Chain A
Amino acid sequence: MFTAAAIRWAVWPPFYGRQLLRQIIDIGYYSLPVVGLTTLFSGMVLALQSYTGFARFSAEDTVATVVVLSVTRELGPVLAGLMVAGRIGASMAAEIGTMRVTDQIDALDSLSTRPMQYLVAPRIIAGTICLPFLVLIGDIIGVFGGYLVGVYKLGFNPSLYLARTLEYLEFSDVFLGLVKAAVFGFLIALMGCYHGYNSGRGAEGVGLATTNAVVSASILILISNYLVTAVFFGN
Protein backbone atom coordinates (compact mmCIF):
# COMPACT_ATOMS: atom_id res chain seq x y z
CA MET A 1 0.00 0.00 0.00
CA PHE A 2 2.60 2.49 1.11
CA THR A 3 4.94 1.31 -1.64
CA ALA A 4 2.29 1.66 -4.32
CA ALA A 5 1.32 5.12 -3.13
CA ALA A 6 4.96 6.15 -2.92
CA ILE A 7 5.64 5.03 -6.49
CA ARG A 8 2.47 6.60 -7.79
CA TRP A 9 3.25 9.98 -6.29
CA ALA A 10 6.85 9.76 -7.44
CA VAL A 11 5.73 9.90 -11.07
CA TRP A 12 2.79 12.26 -10.61
CA PRO A 13 3.02 16.05 -10.87
CA PRO A 14 3.61 18.42 -9.20
CA PHE A 15 7.27 17.58 -8.66
CA TYR A 16 9.20 19.19 -5.88
CA GLY A 17 12.54 19.83 -7.54
CA ARG A 18 14.18 21.57 -4.62
CA GLN A 19 13.27 18.77 -2.26
CA LEU A 20 14.73 16.27 -4.71
CA LEU A 21 17.94 18.25 -5.07
CA ARG A 22 18.34 18.48 -1.32
CA GLN A 23 17.93 14.73 -1.00
CA ILE A 24 20.37 14.00 -3.81
CA ILE A 25 23.01 16.12 -2.12
CA ASP A 26 22.29 14.51 1.22
CA ILE A 27 22.33 10.94 -0.01
CA GLY A 28 24.78 11.13 -2.88
CA TYR A 29 27.33 13.68 -1.83
CA TYR A 30 27.44 13.35 1.94
CA SER A 31 27.59 9.56 1.83
CA LEU A 32 30.74 9.58 -0.29
CA PRO A 33 33.23 9.53 2.61
CA VAL A 34 31.53 6.64 4.36
CA VAL A 35 31.17 4.59 1.22
CA GLY A 36 34.68 5.46 0.08
CA LEU A 37 36.30 4.40 3.34
CA THR A 38 34.31 1.20 3.55
CA THR A 39 35.10 0.05 0.05
CA LEU A 40 38.73 1.16 0.27
CA PHE A 41 39.47 -1.00 3.27
CA SER A 42 37.38 -3.86 1.97
CA GLY A 43 39.34 -3.87 -1.27
CA MET A 44 42.55 -3.83 0.72
CA VAL A 45 41.65 -6.66 3.05
CA LEU A 46 40.29 -8.67 0.16
CA ALA A 47 43.62 -8.47 -1.64
CA LEU A 48 45.43 -9.56 1.49
CA GLN A 49 43.07 -12.42 2.27
CA SER A 50 42.87 -13.82 -1.22
CA TYR A 51 46.64 -13.62 -1.54
CA THR A 52 47.28 -15.65 1.60
CA GLY A 53 44.51 -18.06 0.63
CA PHE A 54 45.49 -18.59 -2.98
CA ALA A 55 49.17 -18.82 -2.11
CA ARG A 56 48.39 -22.25 -0.67
CA PHE A 57 47.76 -23.58 -4.14
CA SER A 58 50.04 -21.13 -5.92
CA ALA A 59 47.30 -19.13 -7.58
CA GLU A 60 48.52 -15.78 -6.29
CA ASP A 61 48.17 -14.06 -9.63
CA THR A 62 44.37 -14.30 -9.52
CA VAL A 63 44.29 -11.75 -6.69
CA ALA A 64 43.50 -8.81 -8.97
CA THR A 65 40.64 -10.66 -10.62
CA VAL A 66 39.19 -11.83 -7.33
CA VAL A 67 39.30 -8.32 -5.95
CA VAL A 68 37.62 -6.64 -8.89
CA LEU A 69 34.91 -9.26 -9.28
CA SER A 70 34.01 -9.41 -5.61
CA VAL A 71 34.02 -5.66 -5.25
CA THR A 72 31.87 -4.88 -8.27
CA ARG A 73 29.44 -7.73 -7.91
CA GLU A 74 29.01 -8.09 -4.18
CA LEU A 75 31.00 -6.06 -1.75
CA GLY A 76 30.59 -2.65 -3.35
CA PRO A 77 26.80 -2.66 -3.52
CA VAL A 78 26.19 -4.58 -0.30
CA LEU A 79 28.61 -2.66 1.88
CA ALA A 80 27.61 0.69 0.42
CA GLY A 81 23.98 -0.30 0.84
CA LEU A 82 24.41 -1.25 4.46
CA MET A 83 26.41 1.86 5.28
CA VAL A 84 23.90 4.13 3.57
CA ALA A 85 21.05 2.28 5.28
CA GLY A 86 22.64 3.20 8.61
CA ARG A 87 23.23 6.78 7.62
CA ILE A 88 20.34 7.73 5.39
CA GLY A 89 17.65 5.27 6.43
CA ALA A 90 18.07 6.39 10.01
CA SER A 91 18.06 10.08 9.26
CA MET A 92 15.04 9.83 6.98
CA ALA A 93 13.07 7.94 9.59
CA ALA A 94 14.10 10.40 12.29
CA GLU A 95 13.29 13.45 10.20
CA ILE A 96 9.93 12.25 8.92
CA GLY A 97 9.10 10.70 12.30
CA THR A 98 9.76 14.02 14.01
CA MET A 99 7.55 15.73 11.48
CA ARG A 100 4.84 13.22 12.24
CA VAL A 101 5.13 13.61 15.97
CA THR A 102 5.19 17.41 15.90
CA ASP A 103 2.18 17.58 13.56
CA GLN A 104 4.26 18.91 10.67
CA ILE A 105 2.86 16.19 8.41
CA ASP A 106 -0.67 17.17 9.38
CA ALA A 107 0.27 20.79 8.76
CA LEU A 108 1.56 19.91 5.29
CA ASP A 109 -1.60 18.07 4.53
CA SER A 110 -3.82 20.88 5.77
CA LEU A 111 -1.82 23.33 3.65
CA SER A 112 -2.93 21.44 0.55
CA THR A 113 0.31 19.57 -0.04
CA ARG A 114 0.40 15.80 -0.21
CA PRO A 115 3.03 14.53 2.20
CA MET A 116 3.59 11.50 -0.02
CA GLN A 117 4.56 13.77 -2.87
CA TYR A 118 6.43 16.36 -0.92
CA LEU A 119 8.31 14.17 1.53
CA VAL A 120 8.34 10.58 0.37
CA ALA A 121 8.63 10.75 -3.41
CA PRO A 122 11.78 12.93 -3.56
CA ARG A 123 13.54 10.69 -1.08
CA ILE A 124 12.72 7.53 -2.97
CA ILE A 125 13.73 8.96 -6.30
CA ALA A 126 16.95 10.33 -4.84
CA GLY A 127 17.75 7.00 -3.16
CA THR A 128 17.23 5.03 -6.34
CA ILE A 129 19.33 7.41 -8.44
CA CYS A 130 22.13 8.07 -6.00
CA LEU A 131 23.07 4.60 -4.86
CA PRO A 132 24.31 3.39 -8.27
CA PHE A 133 26.59 6.43 -8.52
CA LEU A 134 27.87 5.90 -5.02
CA VAL A 135 28.51 2.26 -5.75
CA LEU A 136 30.30 3.03 -9.00
CA ILE A 137 32.64 5.34 -7.14
CA GLY A 138 32.92 2.78 -4.33
CA ASP A 139 33.86 0.12 -6.88
CA ILE A 140 36.69 2.23 -8.22
CA ILE A 141 37.95 3.03 -4.73
CA GLY A 142 37.68 -0.61 -3.67
CA VAL A 143 39.69 -1.79 -6.67
CA PHE A 144 42.18 0.93 -5.93
CA GLY A 145 42.46 -0.37 -2.35
CA GLY A 146 43.24 -3.81 -3.71
CA TYR A 147 45.79 -2.29 -6.03
CA LEU A 148 47.53 -0.48 -3.19
CA VAL A 149 47.92 -3.65 -1.17
CA GLY A 150 48.74 -5.72 -4.24
CA VAL A 151 51.47 -3.41 -5.44
CA TYR A 152 52.95 -1.95 -2.27
CA LYS A 153 52.57 -4.83 0.13
CA LEU A 154 52.44 -7.98 -1.95
CA GLY A 155 54.89 -6.77 -4.59
CA PHE A 156 52.82 -7.20 -7.75
CA ASN A 157 53.91 -5.37 -10.86
CA PRO A 158 51.60 -2.33 -11.17
CA SER A 159 50.81 -2.63 -14.86
CA LEU A 160 50.38 -6.38 -14.61
CA TYR A 161 47.98 -5.92 -11.69
CA LEU A 162 45.92 -3.44 -13.67
CA ALA A 163 45.88 -5.66 -16.73
CA ARG A 164 44.69 -8.56 -14.56
CA THR A 165 42.02 -6.35 -13.07
CA LEU A 166 40.53 -5.56 -16.44
CA GLU A 167 41.17 -8.89 -18.13
CA TYR A 168 38.22 -10.85 -16.80
CA LEU A 169 35.98 -7.98 -15.90
CA GLU A 170 32.81 -7.81 -17.95
CA PHE A 171 30.34 -5.02 -18.29
CA SER A 172 27.65 -7.26 -16.86
CA ASP A 173 29.57 -7.57 -13.58
CA VAL A 174 29.52 -3.85 -13.03
CA PHE A 175 25.98 -3.61 -14.32
CA LEU A 176 24.76 -6.28 -11.91
CA GLY A 177 26.29 -4.29 -9.07
CA LEU A 178 24.60 -1.11 -10.18
CA VAL A 179 21.21 -2.76 -10.54
CA LYS A 180 21.59 -4.04 -7.02
CA ALA A 181 22.54 -0.57 -5.88
CA ALA A 182 19.41 0.95 -7.37
CA VAL A 183 17.26 -1.68 -5.67
CA PHE A 184 19.03 -1.08 -2.36
CA GLY A 185 18.65 2.68 -2.68
CA PHE A 186 14.95 2.29 -3.29
CA LEU A 187 14.56 -0.03 -0.30
CA ILE A 188 16.55 2.18 2.04
CA ALA A 189 14.49 5.26 1.24
CA LEU A 190 11.26 3.31 1.30
CA MET A 191 11.99 1.88 4.75
CA GLY A 192 13.19 5.23 6.10
CA CYS A 193 10.05 6.98 4.88
CA TYR A 194 7.65 4.21 5.82
CA HIS A 195 8.81 3.89 9.39
CA GLY A 196 9.10 7.65 9.84
CA TYR A 197 5.70 8.24 8.34
CA ASN A 198 4.06 5.70 10.62
CA SER A 199 6.12 6.65 13.62
CA GLY A 200 4.53 6.18 17.02
CA ARG A 201 3.91 9.15 19.24
CA GLY A 202 6.58 10.94 21.24
CA ALA A 203 10.36 10.80 21.11
CA GLU A 204 10.19 7.11 21.88
CA GLY A 205 8.14 6.52 18.74
CA VAL A 206 10.73 8.29 16.62
CA GLY A 207 13.56 6.31 18.18
CA LEU A 208 11.81 3.07 17.45
CA ALA A 209 11.02 4.17 13.89
CA THR A 210 14.71 4.91 13.33
CA THR A 211 15.82 1.52 14.58
CA ASN A 212 13.18 -0.28 12.58
CA ALA A 213 14.09 1.60 9.42
CA VAL A 214 17.74 0.59 9.65
CA VAL A 215 17.09 -3.01 10.62
CA SER A 216 14.42 -3.63 8.01
CA ALA A 217 16.42 -1.91 5.27
CA SER A 218 19.51 -3.98 6.11
CA ILE A 219 17.59 -7.24 6.08
CA LEU A 220 15.84 -6.36 2.84
CA ILE A 221 19.19 -5.47 1.29
CA LEU A 222 20.61 -8.89 2.13
CA ILE A 223 17.54 -10.72 0.88
CA SER A 224 17.16 -8.73 -2.31
CA ASN A 225 20.89 -9.09 -2.92
CA TYR A 226 20.39 -12.82 -3.12
CA LEU A 227 17.27 -12.51 -5.24
CA VAL A 228 18.79 -10.13 -7.77
CA THR A 229 21.87 -12.31 -8.08
CA ALA A 230 19.74 -15.42 -8.52
CA VAL A 231 17.65 -13.75 -11.21
CA PHE A 232 20.77 -12.64 -13.05
CA PHE A 233 22.28 -16.10 -13.08
CA GLY A 234 18.93 -17.67 -13.86
CA ASN A 235 19.21 -16.33 -17.41
Chain B
Amino acid sequence: MSSTPKIRIDNIKKRFGTNDVLKGISLDIQAQESVCIIGTSGCGKSVTLKCLLGLITPDSGSILVNGVETVGQSRRAREDMLRQFGMTFQFGALFDSLQIWENVTFRLRQRTKLTRQAARDVAADIVTQLGLGAHVIDQYPAELSGGMQKRVALARAIADKPEILLFDEPTSGLDPITGGVIDNLIIDQVKKLGATTLTISHDMASVRRIADKVAMVHKGRIIWFGAVTDMDNTGVPEVDQFVHGEPFGPLTTGNSD
Protein backbone atom coordinates (compact mmCIF):
# COMPACT_ATOMS: atom_id res chain seq x y z
CA MET B 1 0.00 0.00 0.00
CA SER B 2 1.62 3.25 -1.02
CA SER B 3 0.86 6.50 0.77
CA THR B 4 -0.79 9.48 -0.92
CA PRO B 5 1.39 10.37 -3.87
CA LYS B 6 3.05 13.77 -3.77
CA ILE B 7 1.63 14.45 -7.19
CA ARG B 8 -1.19 12.60 -8.88
CA ILE B 9 -1.97 13.49 -12.46
CA ASP B 10 -5.23 11.86 -13.40
CA ASN B 11 -6.37 11.58 -16.97
CA ILE B 12 -5.66 15.16 -18.05
CA LYS B 13 -6.56 16.20 -21.55
CA LYS B 14 -5.69 19.31 -23.48
CA ARG B 15 -6.26 20.40 -27.02
CA PHE B 16 -5.17 23.58 -28.76
CA GLY B 17 -7.65 24.25 -31.54
CA THR B 18 -7.60 21.09 -33.58
CA ASN B 19 -4.32 19.94 -32.11
CA ASP B 20 -5.15 17.21 -29.60
CA VAL B 21 -2.02 17.33 -27.49
CA LEU B 22 -2.80 15.47 -24.27
CA LYS B 23 -5.28 12.65 -24.62
CA GLY B 24 -5.38 11.47 -21.06
CA ILE B 25 -2.13 11.59 -19.12
CA SER B 26 -2.06 9.85 -15.76
CA LEU B 27 0.97 9.69 -13.54
CA ASP B 28 1.63 9.22 -9.83
CA ILE B 29 4.79 10.57 -8.30
CA GLN B 30 5.71 9.62 -4.75
CA ALA B 31 7.41 11.98 -2.36
CA GLN B 32 11.17 12.32 -2.92
CA GLU B 33 10.98 10.34 -6.12
CA SER B 34 12.78 11.48 -9.26
CA VAL B 35 10.73 10.85 -12.39
CA CYS B 36 11.85 11.59 -15.93
CA ILE B 37 9.46 12.15 -18.80
CA ILE B 38 10.71 11.20 -22.22
CA GLY B 39 9.06 11.32 -25.61
CA THR B 40 9.47 12.68 -29.10
CA SER B 41 9.47 16.38 -29.80
CA GLY B 42 6.03 17.95 -29.70
CA CYS B 43 4.37 15.10 -27.83
CA GLY B 44 3.24 17.40 -25.03
CA LYS B 45 5.88 17.10 -22.33
CA SER B 46 6.22 20.80 -21.70
CA VAL B 47 2.45 21.23 -21.78
CA THR B 48 2.13 18.59 -19.06
CA LEU B 49 4.60 20.43 -16.84
CA LYS B 50 2.80 23.72 -17.41
CA CYS B 51 -0.48 22.09 -16.44
CA LEU B 52 1.09 21.13 -13.12
CA LEU B 53 1.85 24.78 -12.38
CA GLY B 54 -1.54 25.95 -13.59
CA LEU B 55 0.08 27.93 -16.41
CA ILE B 56 -2.08 25.94 -18.79
CA THR B 57 -5.45 24.68 -17.63
CA PRO B 58 -6.29 21.18 -18.81
CA ASP B 59 -9.64 20.73 -20.56
CA SER B 60 -10.46 17.86 -18.23
CA GLY B 61 -8.86 15.61 -15.68
CA SER B 62 -7.46 16.35 -12.28
CA ILE B 63 -4.12 17.11 -10.70
CA LEU B 64 -3.63 16.51 -6.99
CA VAL B 65 -0.67 17.95 -5.16
CA ASN B 66 -0.33 16.50 -1.65
CA GLY B 67 -3.82 15.14 -2.16
CA VAL B 68 -5.30 18.57 -2.92
CA GLU B 69 -7.05 19.25 -6.22
CA THR B 70 -5.30 22.05 -8.10
CA VAL B 71 -7.28 22.24 -11.32
CA GLY B 72 -9.70 25.12 -11.07
CA GLN B 73 -8.49 26.21 -7.62
CA SER B 74 -8.79 29.82 -6.48
CA ARG B 75 -6.02 32.27 -7.20
CA ARG B 76 -5.05 32.44 -3.55
CA ALA B 77 -4.86 28.65 -3.28
CA ARG B 78 -2.79 28.53 -6.43
CA GLU B 79 -0.34 31.07 -5.08
CA ASP B 80 0.07 28.98 -1.96
CA MET B 81 0.57 25.87 -4.04
CA LEU B 82 3.18 27.53 -6.25
CA ARG B 83 5.42 28.15 -3.25
CA GLN B 84 6.09 24.45 -3.11
CA PHE B 85 7.33 24.43 -6.69
CA GLY B 86 10.56 25.39 -8.35
CA MET B 87 10.84 25.16 -12.11
CA THR B 88 13.33 25.60 -14.89
CA PHE B 89 11.90 26.26 -18.32
CA GLN B 90 12.96 24.75 -21.60
CA PHE B 91 14.24 28.05 -22.92
CA GLY B 92 15.73 29.26 -19.67
CA ALA B 93 13.24 32.06 -19.19
CA LEU B 94 15.68 34.11 -17.14
CA PHE B 95 14.54 37.70 -16.85
CA ASP B 96 16.57 39.58 -19.44
CA SER B 97 16.23 42.93 -17.77
CA LEU B 98 17.41 41.78 -14.35
CA GLN B 99 20.88 40.94 -13.15
CA ILE B 100 21.68 37.39 -12.14
CA TRP B 101 21.36 38.03 -8.42
CA GLU B 102 17.93 39.59 -8.98
CA ASN B 103 16.92 36.61 -11.08
CA VAL B 104 18.07 34.09 -8.51
CA THR B 105 16.48 35.79 -5.52
CA PHE B 106 13.37 36.95 -7.39
CA ARG B 107 10.83 35.03 -5.39
CA LEU B 108 12.77 35.24 -2.17
CA ARG B 109 12.62 39.01 -2.40
CA GLN B 110 8.92 39.02 -3.19
CA ARG B 111 8.20 36.95 -0.17
CA THR B 112 10.61 38.18 2.46
CA LYS B 113 11.91 41.67 3.02
CA LEU B 114 15.47 40.87 2.17
CA THR B 115 17.91 43.76 1.97
CA ARG B 116 19.79 44.20 -1.26
CA GLN B 117 23.03 43.10 0.30
CA ALA B 118 21.51 40.03 1.94
CA ALA B 119 19.92 39.02 -1.35
CA ARG B 120 23.22 39.41 -3.15
CA ASP B 121 24.91 37.25 -0.54
CA VAL B 122 22.28 34.56 -0.91
CA ALA B 123 22.62 34.65 -4.70
CA ALA B 124 26.41 34.50 -4.56
CA ASP B 125 26.20 31.55 -2.21
CA ILE B 126 23.84 29.62 -4.46
CA VAL B 127 25.67 30.28 -7.71
CA THR B 128 29.00 29.25 -6.21
CA GLN B 129 27.40 26.02 -5.00
CA LEU B 130 26.47 25.47 -8.63
CA GLY B 131 30.02 26.01 -9.76
CA LEU B 132 29.76 29.56 -11.08
CA GLY B 133 32.03 32.40 -10.03
CA ALA B 134 30.44 34.76 -7.52
CA HIS B 135 31.09 37.68 -9.88
CA VAL B 136 28.39 36.50 -12.31
CA ILE B 137 25.70 37.80 -9.98
CA ASP B 138 26.26 41.29 -11.38
CA GLN B 139 25.92 40.21 -14.99
CA TYR B 140 22.82 40.00 -17.16
CA PRO B 141 21.54 36.70 -18.59
CA ALA B 142 22.50 37.66 -22.14
CA GLU B 143 26.15 37.92 -21.06
CA LEU B 144 26.31 34.28 -19.99
CA SER B 145 26.86 31.15 -22.07
CA GLY B 146 24.05 28.64 -22.51
CA GLY B 147 25.47 26.31 -19.87
CA MET B 148 25.85 29.15 -17.38
CA GLN B 149 22.28 30.24 -18.04
CA LYS B 150 21.06 26.73 -17.32
CA ARG B 151 22.87 26.83 -13.99
CA VAL B 152 21.38 30.19 -13.15
CA ALA B 153 17.93 28.88 -14.01
CA LEU B 154 18.62 25.98 -11.69
CA ALA B 155 19.77 28.40 -9.00
CA ARG B 156 16.54 30.38 -9.36
CA ALA B 157 14.46 27.21 -9.12
CA ILE B 158 16.09 26.00 -5.92
CA ALA B 159 16.72 29.38 -4.28
CA ASP B 160 13.92 29.19 -1.78
CA LYS B 161 14.04 25.46 -1.21
CA PRO B 162 10.90 24.15 -2.85
CA GLU B 163 9.56 20.67 -2.17
CA ILE B 164 8.83 19.90 -5.78
CA LEU B 165 11.18 20.63 -8.65
CA LEU B 166 10.24 20.61 -12.31
CA PHE B 167 13.01 20.70 -14.87
CA ASP B 168 12.22 21.11 -18.56
CA GLU B 169 15.23 19.87 -20.52
CA PRO B 170 17.90 21.04 -18.10
CA THR B 171 20.73 19.66 -20.22
CA SER B 172 19.54 20.23 -23.78
CA GLY B 173 21.96 22.09 -25.96
CA LEU B 174 24.93 21.41 -23.70
CA ASP B 175 28.05 19.40 -24.36
CA PRO B 176 28.04 15.97 -22.62
CA ILE B 177 30.48 17.06 -19.94
CA THR B 178 28.58 20.18 -18.93
CA GLY B 179 25.39 18.16 -19.18
CA GLY B 180 26.87 15.63 -16.77
CA VAL B 181 27.87 18.40 -14.40
CA ILE B 182 24.33 19.78 -14.44
CA ASP B 183 22.94 16.31 -13.77
CA ASN B 184 25.19 15.96 -10.74
CA LEU B 185 24.14 19.37 -9.51
CA ILE B 186 20.52 18.34 -9.84
CA ILE B 187 21.13 15.11 -7.98
CA ASP B 188 23.05 16.89 -5.19
CA GLN B 189 20.52 19.65 -4.75
CA VAL B 190 17.56 17.32 -4.89
CA LYS B 191 19.12 15.15 -2.21
CA LYS B 192 19.94 18.17 -0.10
CA LEU B 193 16.37 19.48 -0.34
CA GLY B 194 14.72 16.09 -0.16
CA ALA B 195 12.64 17.25 -3.09
CA THR B 196 10.32 15.42 -5.42
CA THR B 197 11.48 15.90 -8.99
CA LEU B 198 9.94 15.71 -12.40
CA THR B 199 12.38 16.19 -15.26
CA ILE B 200 11.84 16.28 -18.99
CA SER B 201 14.80 15.07 -20.93
CA HIS B 202 15.79 13.82 -24.36
CA ASP B 203 19.20 12.86 -23.15
CA MET B 204 19.24 9.17 -22.24
CA ALA B 205 22.57 9.36 -20.44
CA SER B 206 21.13 12.08 -18.28
CA VAL B 207 17.92 10.12 -17.68
CA ARG B 208 19.92 7.15 -16.46
CA ARG B 209 21.81 9.35 -14.04
CA ILE B 210 18.98 11.29 -12.45
CA ALA B 211 15.84 9.18 -12.71
CA ASP B 212 14.35 6.65 -10.33
CA LYS B 213 11.45 6.11 -12.70
CA VAL B 214 10.80 6.93 -16.32
CA ALA B 215 7.55 7.75 -18.09
CA MET B 216 7.36 7.72 -21.85
CA VAL B 217 4.74 9.91 -23.52
CA HIS B 218 3.55 9.01 -26.97
CA LYS B 219 0.54 10.24 -28.89
CA GLY B 220 -0.77 12.14 -25.90
CA ARG B 221 -0.68 9.20 -23.50
CA ILE B 222 1.84 7.56 -21.23
CA ILE B 223 2.75 4.30 -22.90
CA TRP B 224 5.26 3.09 -20.37
CA PHE B 225 6.05 3.95 -16.77
CA GLY B 226 8.57 2.00 -14.77
CA ALA B 227 11.87 1.92 -12.96
CA VAL B 228 14.83 3.34 -14.86
CA THR B 229 16.57 -0.03 -14.43
CA ASP B 230 13.83 -1.68 -16.48
CA MET B 231 14.08 0.82 -19.30
CA ASP B 232 16.18 -1.40 -21.56
CA ASN B 233 13.81 -4.34 -21.64
CA THR B 234 10.30 -2.99 -21.60
CA GLY B 235 9.04 -5.01 -24.52
CA VAL B 236 7.37 -1.83 -25.82
CA PRO B 237 8.74 -1.15 -29.30
CA GLU B 238 8.35 2.64 -29.04
CA VAL B 239 10.32 2.76 -25.81
CA ASP B 240 13.05 0.50 -27.20
CA GLN B 241 13.36 2.68 -30.23
CA PHE B 242 13.50 5.88 -28.20
CA VAL B 243 15.94 4.59 -25.62
CA HIS B 244 18.32 3.34 -28.28
CA GLY B 245 17.81 6.28 -30.60
CA GLU B 246 16.95 4.25 -33.70
CA PRO B 247 15.77 6.31 -36.65
CA PHE B 248 13.41 3.60 -37.88
CA GLY B 249 10.59 2.04 -35.93
CA PRO B 250 7.09 2.79 -34.71
CA LEU B 251 8.01 6.39 -33.77
CA THR B 252 8.10 8.98 -36.49
CA THR B 253 9.25 12.54 -36.08
CA GLY B 254 6.82 15.35 -36.66
CA ASN B 255 3.57 15.97 -34.93
CA SER B 256 1.96 13.13 -33.09
CA ASP B 257 -1.71 12.68 -33.74
Contacts and interface: CB of A to CB of B under 8 A. Distances in A.
22 contacts: A22-B97, A95-B97, A99-B95, A99-B96, A102-B92, A103-B89, A103-B91, A103-B92, A104-B96, A106-B50, A106-B53, A106-B55, A106-B89, A107-B89, A107-B93, A108-B95, A109-B53, A109-B55, A110-B85, A111-B107, A112-B79, A112-B107
A25 to B, nearest CB: 13
A3 interface: no
Contacts of B156: 111
A113 B92 contact: no
Interface of A: 22, 95, 98-99, 102-104, 106-113
B interface, size bucket: 20 to 34
B144 to A, nearest CB: 15
Contact of A112 (B55, B83, B90, B94): B83
A113 B79 CA distance: 9
Contact of B93 (A95, A106, A112, A113): A106
B140 interface: no
A110 B91 contact: no
Nearest to A22: B97
Contacts of A109: 53, 55
B1 to A, nearest CB: 33
Contacts of B87: 107, 110
A153 to B, nearest CB: 46
Nearest to B79: A112
B106 interface: yes
B93 A102 contact: yes
Contacts of B50: 106
A103 B96 contact: no
B110 A112 contact: yes
A89 B170 CA distance: 34
B228 interface: no
A22 B53 CA distance: 30
Contacts of B89: 103, 106-107
Contacts of A98: 96
B96 A112 contact: no
A113 B55 CA distance: 13
5 pairs of A and B residues whose beta carbons are closest in the complex: A103-B93, A107-B93, A103-B89, A111-B107, A106-B55
A113 B106 contact: yes
A22 B92 CA distance: 24
A111 B106 contact: yes
A98 B93 CA distance: 10
B192 interface: no
Contacts of A102: 91-93
A161 B107 CA distance: 59
B132 interface: no
A104 B95 contact: yes
A142 B16 CA distance: 52
A104 B107 CA distance: 14
Contacts of A22: 97
A111 B110 contact: yes
Contacts of B90: 103
Contacts of B92: 102-103
A28 to B, nearest CB: 18
B53 A110 contact: yes
Interface string B122-138: 00000000000000000
A98 B142 CA distance: 14
Contacts of B79: 112
A75 B55 CA distance: 44
Nearest to B168: A103
Contacts of B244: none
Residue from the set A106, A107, A108, A113 with the largest chain B CB neighbour count within 10 Å = A107
Contacts of A95: 97
B82 interface: yes
A103 B50 CA distance: 10
Interface in B95-148: 95-97, 106-107, 110-111
Nearest to A106: B55
B91 A112 contact: no
Given A109-B55, A111-B106, A112-B110, 18 more contacts: A22-B97, A95-B97, A99-B95, A102-B91, A102-B92, A103-B90, A103-B91, A104-B94, A104-B95, A104-B96, A107-B94, A107-B95, A111-B82, A111-B107, A111-B156, A112-B82, A112-B83, A112-B107
B254 to A, nearest CB: 17
